[in-house]
Amino acid sequence: MQEHLHNLVESTLLIISVSIAIVALFQRIHLPSIIGFILTGVLIGPYGLAWINETEAIKLLAEIGVVLLLFSLGVEFSIDSLIQLRHYVLRAGIAQVVLTVIFCAVGAGLLGYSLPQSLALGMIISLSSTAVGIKLLKQRQESDSTHGRFAIGVLLLQDIAAPLFMAILPFLSQIKDVGFQAIATRLLVMVFGVAGVYLIARAIFPTLLRWITASQTREIPVLGSILIALLMGYIAEKLGLSPALGAFVAGVIISETPYSHQITANISPFRDSFLALFFISVGMLVDLEYVRQNLLLVMGWTLGLMIFKCILVIAISFAIRRPLRVGLLAGIVLANIGEFSFVLMEQARSRALLPSDLLDGLVAGTSLSLLLTPIALSLTYWVIASISGRTNLLSYYGKIKHKHDDLENHIIIVGFGLNGRNLANLLKQLGEPFVVVEMNGALVEQAKEMGVPVVYGDAAHTEIMEVAGIKKARAVVLAISDPVSTRYAVQTARKLNPKVYIIARTRYVVEIERLYQAGATDVIPEEFETFIEIAGRIMRLLKLDNEKRLQIMNNFRKDHYQTFQETKEGIFTH
């Protein structure tokens, strides 16, 4: 016992030391930390240097990481986010998951795999990495862009599908032995079991959470949060369900309470630590000899699956009338195979549902797909930037239905969100001619109901702007939050009408010079104008006279916000 404990301590210290070094290196070269953890497992695992003896204990700790991951996913589950992105979640998300499972299952069946194996492969391949996708979009400040919302909407649906897949996959391994009818009965029992546990937990948890969070001792809320996650996982396991599904249900219940943010903060350090062990344990299972012998095959299948997933997203984008550019960028973000797929692979391995050599290839291929995603995204941006000035293909998605040939000396408002709607109301009151260009079908219908002249389409597309009367327009106001679409729309408007006055809205100071270079006459950054408003109120509080206050504010605006771009971090770091 003492020797076993000593070996476990040694193994843990070794894992932590190696993973810190590798992940730190990966961060410096801007690669996902998930790959660093997997590489740590490959390096020190039984197929690598064989430095780790306590692999079973590491796997047990890794399973705790998965339970905490699903618990935190449930806690962060937001009905509001689903409502805001419902068009992408309910249409693009469901289509992406369902079609990927169907196509992959059919393909696997043609290759000779059984129906349960084919469905398992479809589930594994259908999921993309939320961690990598969100990180890439945030790095580029494009979470609010059209392709960003598209990708995030699909990722939200995948996050909902992941625990369902984890619950279903164990039953797939039993189909051959007990038959479809017995499996259907068990699934029905599982649904009622989950519903019963949900109702009981929903009645108990609020009282328990009030007691936990009311404690003056920090340790009680932290330990209480972990207890709830593990307890629900344990109960689910005793009912014959996936522990991860039980933890997810507990998280969803907590997400409806006022304590959700505190619970997330409590478990985050533990979740991240145990989850790192999970990815390391996945790496330990990679058979390096198999990968070496089948390297070209693994790379070929990985690239093939990434291309397939990207093309499928582009097709879905076209079906819901989004430009090719949006589908292409969202497709690249979603082309990889995600972290929840590793959990499904582990389930398939433990139940001998899929051959071990296939799982070795899937683990290696999934890791490779995560590694290739940021590279592929950078190349895609470069290609789009290179050809955007010479072709309208990237903005094309269908025929135009609404024309406004009688417009002249008018204002084109791109985007019918809050800012666009308010501007339209103002111009209506002033009796000035205007037309709205909007790509969201729901907002187009809303504009029609309000009697607002509207063109349905992407303002980056030449034909759309011509229909909006760009050549006779007095001004163009870009009131959309998508930085990429704004830039392309400015280029298109300037190319079609060199004299038109273009006002572009942007959320970030970093976009100012890019928009001026694209052809904008005036750029209004929300980030900067917020500072101006705060500064103005502070100066009023300090009793500066109006003339001095306006002079200071105008000086900031006159300098084209150059003060904020003197350093990478900004003026407030000095």
Whether 234 has a pLDDT exceeding 60, the answer reads yes
DSSP 443-512: HHHHHHHTT--EEES-TTSHHHHHHTTGGG-SEEEE--S-HHHHHHHHHHHHHH-TT-EEEEEES-GGGH
Q: How confident is the model at residue 331 (pLDDT cuts 50, 70, 90)?
A: very high
The residue-averaged pLDDT of 68-84 equals 69
Contact 344, 169 (CB under 8 A): yes
Ranked by mean pLDDT, which of 202-211, 415-424, 543-552 comes out on top?
415-424
CATH classification (class only), 2-386: mainly alpha
DSSP 204-262: HHHHHHHHHHH-SSTHHHHHHHHHHHHHHHHHHHHTTS-HHHHHHHHHHHHHTSTTHHH
CA nearest 371: which of 298, 454, 292?
298
The residue-averaged pLDDT of 360-368 equals 85
Long-range contacts of residues 199-203, Cβ cutoff 8 Å, at least 24 apart: 201/232, 201/249, 201/250, 201/253, 202/253
**In the chain, what are the domain boundaries?**
2-386, 401-573
Residue 411: the pLDDT is 93
Among 76-85, 210-219, 339-348, the minimum mean pLDDT is found in 76-85
Give me 401's structure tokens. 């239905």
Helix (H, G, I), strand (E, B) or coil at 182: helix
Burial class (CB in 10 A: 0-12, 13-18, 19+), 94: middle
Residue 47: the pLDDT is 74
Q: CA-to-CA distance for 234 and 221, rounded, in angstroms? A: 20
Residue 206: the pLDDT is 76
Higher pLDDT, 106 or 84: 106
Residue 413: the pLDDT is 93
Q: How confident is the model at residue 182 (pLDDT cuts 50, 70, 90)?
A: low
pLDDT in tens, 505-559: 887 777 778 888 888 998 887 767 777 778 888 888 888 888 888 888 777 766 6
Mean pLDDT for the chain overall = 78
Give me 483's structure tokens. 């930085």
Give me 129's structure tokens. 């990495």
Whether 570 has a pLDDT exceeding 50, the answer reads no
What is the SS3 string spanning 279-331? HHHHHHCCCHHHHHHCHHHHHHHHHHHHHHHHHHHHHHHHHCCCCHHHHHHHH
Q: What are phi and psi of 140, to 5 degrees?
A: -95, 5
Q: How confident is the model at residue 262 (pLDDT cuts 50, 70, 90)?
A: confident
The residue-averaged pLDDT of 104-122 equals 91
Q: CA-to-CA distance for 344 and 186, rounded, in angstroms? A: 19
Contact 93, 272 (CB under 8 A): no
Q: CA-to-CA distance for 116 and 174, rounded, in angstroms? A: 9
CA nearest 4: which of 57, 63, 75, 68?
57
Residue showing tokens 């129906």? 115
Helix (H, G, I), strand (E, B) or coil at 398: coil
Long-range contacts of residues 86-92, Cβ cutoff 8 Å, at least 24 apart: 87/153, 87/320, 87/440, 87/442, 88/149, 88/150, 88/152, 88/153, 88/154, 89/153, 89/154, 89/156, 89/157, 90/157, 91/316, 91/320, 92/150, 92/153, 92/154, 92/157, 92/313, 92/316, 92/317, 92/320
Q: How confident is the model at residue 277 (pLDDT cuts 50, 70, 90)?
A: confident
Whether 236 has a pLDDT exceeding 60, the answer reads yes
pTM (2 decimals)? 0.71
CA nearest 394: which of 323, 458, 465?
323
Residue 541: the pLDDT is 82
CA angle 501, 502, 507 (to 5 degrees): 150
pLDDT in tens, 422-463: 999 989 888 889 999 988 777 888 888 888 898 888 888 888
Among 206-210, 348-352, 403-407, the minimum mean pLDDT is found in 403-407
Percent of the chain's residues with pLDDT above 70: 81
Bridge partners (DSSP) of residue 414 are 437, 478
CA nearest 128: which of 92, 75, 84, 173?
92
Percent of the chain's residues with pLDDT above 90: 14
Contact 206, 257 (CB under 8 A): yes
Residue showing tokens 């397939």? 308
Higher pLDDT, 475 or 242: 475
Helix (H, G, I), strand (E, B) or coil at 56: helix
| H or E element, residue 525 | strand 522-525
Residue 268: the pLDDT is 74
Q: How many residues in the chain?
A: 574
Superfamily of 401-573 according to CATH: NAD(P)-binding Rossmann-like Domain (3.40.50.720)
